[in-house]
Structure 1
Amino acid sequence: MKTGAKRKLEIKTWEIKTDRLKRTDGSLRIVFLADLHDRLWGEGQEQLLEAIDSLKADLILGAGDMLVAKEHAVKMEHALLLFEELTKRQIPIILSNGNHESRMRQQPEKYEHQYEAYAGRLTSMGVRILSDEACELVHGSSSVKIYGYEMPLEYYHKLRQPVYKGEDLEQKFGRPDEKHFHILMAHNPVYFDTYAAWGADLTLAGHLHGGIIRIPGIGGVITPQVKLFPEYDRGFFERNGKYMAVSAGLGEHTVPIRIFNPPQLILLTIEGVA
């Protein structure tokens, strides 16, 4: 196995305070991964593993595109290696699907049984995959609800950005209650306002690779849908008390360049104030 060239990895940390969690429960530390695209970070994923270990997470969440899905040429071995090593840390790992995993799952005529092979290997390691599913995580005396949303593929087509009002979200998950802190893993960040209006306290997204090329003071230049100057390219956003973290991603594909746009690992700390 070739060793990936060592490169800069940006680590970003953001803090959220919420009355949905109890102050006495202490902070919930979440390492957030997105858009690995099967990149190898040093021999055995050593560089990335060391960075994750340094963040001392309680939970690892991944919002999709861990692999590269091309017809009859899926690349997944480096992603599987990462999660095989992470499961040795005895930290819960929960993933959702991005557009690459979704098209593998939804288009078996093109990808045959590759999604089942990928998901099966992850599940056998103890990784939880949420595909239009939700699960509950107990944190002290409080509760966090985590949703893995698989957005319909039409919202990923190039040169188009369909209107999205969230009916699909409500049909799949209902409406969030007031008792939990709700984390929505939704790969495409473009529709943050809709996610927030639905009731996601925190949305985790990626997909836009930070805009690929960034202009200082302006932001990302272009998205995978070939839209110029996206609003939610990378970073931390807030709307009426709802938050979204958008990862610039840990890898690339198709256009393997980054300018003023380093790969990114994110730590989110959620503190209760109730």
Structure 2
Amino acid sequence: MKLIGIFGLFLVGIFIYNYIQISKFFINKLSFQTNKLSKSLRITQISDYHSNNLINKKRLLDEISQFNPHIIALTGDIIDSRAEEIYPTLDLIKELTKINSNIYFVIGNHELRNINGNTFIENLKEVGVTVLDNENTIIQIEDEKVNICGLSFFATKEDYENILAKINKDYFTLLLSHSPNRIIRYTKGIEDLILTGHTHGGQVRLPIIGAIVSSGQGLFPKYDKGVFNIKNTILYIDSGLGNSLFPIRFFNRVQICNITIESTKNS
């Protein structure tokens, strides 16, 4: 009986730990430097939300509001492929537009697979979100101009090259891609910062080792989570705010990322 009681407590502990990992989001804070800006640029990245109704949405909005980003990047899988209700997630994004209307979205594989995915994307446009599907744009922030490029989930190398051929390389260039799997092969180092998601950091991670498995990269993937330098370009892979397949996380709490790009012009 004693062993059964200990095992029961162990299971309860695992359940509580996992619940914290999948619902109590962490805010990752990153800082990079550039000589292409004269002032700091603040970016909030939200990736792989997967219609996660377990998180405290009010706290999420409060934290983002306090950071006061110039740009909010939604890097795909904001809804889950199995989600029948898209409007709770749209309501959250409507609240984000009240913080800042400079919201940019790239399509993830779960939006493509959801039966209401196209409706979700059209509704994003209606509330003022800019959808970048193999497209680029320029945003004016005070006296600064920033290139923002967005790759589709199934973008080819030609798609990538066409987008980058249109940019002004004197401006800071931000590229959004749901998955890092193609961009790590395509990048020519023209971008200053690439933001991606998709991997969930493997969802289950081991200390020192990292992710056990990642979609598109197999076992013990190299590009699983965090910051990587590829051809003079900074690649950041966010582990996301939600979960797919199973609501399980281990050593890998759900998260968003607040990124500050510091100017080196006056240093």
Whether 1:263 and 2:254 are equivalent positions in the alignment is: yes
1:82 to 67, 80, 92: 92
Whether contact under 8 Å (1:65, 1:101) holds in the other structure is yes
Task: State the partner residue of 2:77.
Answer: 65
Task: State the partner residue of 2:150.
Answer: 148
Aligned pair count reads 245
Whether contact under 8 Å (1:33, 1:249) holds in the other structure is yes
SS at match of 1:178: coil
Task: State the partner residue of 1:48.
Answer: 60
Offset of 1:270 from its aligned partner?
Answer: 1.0
> If the length of structure 1 is used for normalisation, what is the TM-score?
0.81
Change (3 A) 1:233 1:80: same
Whether contact under 8 Å (1:150, 1:186) holds in the other structure is yes
Change (3 A) 1:201 1:258: same
Whether contact under 8 Å (1:249, 1:264) holds in the other structure is yes
Task: State how 1:173-184 maps to structure 2 within 5 Å.
Answer: 173-174=164-165, 176-184=167-175
Offset of 1:167 from its aligned partner?
Answer: 2.9
Whether 1:203 and 2:205 are equivalent positions in the alignment is: no
Amino acid of the structure 2 residue aligned with 1:94: Y
Taking only aligned residues, the RMSD between alpha carbons, in angstroms, comes to 2.3
Change (3 A) 1:75 1:244: farther
Instruction: Determine the C-alpha separation between the residues in 2 that align with 1:80 and 1:194.
Output: 33
Instruction: Determine the C-alpha separation between the residues in 2 that align with 1:142 and 1:258.
Output: 39
Offset of 1:181 from its aligned partner?
Answer: 1.2
Instruction: Determine the C-alpha separation between the residues in 1 that align with 2:165 and 2:100.
Output: 32
Whether contact under 8 Å (1:170, 1:198) holds in the other structure is no
Amino acid of the structure 2 residue aligned with 1:8: K
Offset of 1:195 from its aligned partner?
Answer: 4.4
Amino acid of the structure 2 residue aligned with 1:98: G
Instruction: Determine the C-alpha separation between the residues in 2 that align with 1:192 and 1:120.
Output: 26
Amino acid of the structure 2 residue aligned with 1:64: G
Whether contact under 8 Å (1:175, 1:198) holds in the other structure is no
> If the length of structure 2 is used for normalisation, what is the TM-score?
0.83
Whether contact under 8 Å (1:195, 1:203) holds in the other structure is no
Whether 1:30 and 2:43 are equivalent positions in the alignment is: yes
**For 1:133-161, what per-residue CA distance to the aligned partner results, in whole angstroms no more than 9, with x for missing partners?**
111111333311111110318xxxxxxxx
Whether contact under 8 Å (2:75, 2:195) holds in the other structure is yes
Amino acid of the structure 1 residue aligned with 2:70: D
Offset of 1:75 from its aligned partner?
Answer: 4.3
Higher alpha-carbon Rg: 2
Task: State the partner residue of 2:9.
Answer: none
Whether contact under 8 Å (2:48, 2:197) holds in the other structure is yes
Runs of 4+ displaced beyond 6 Å: none
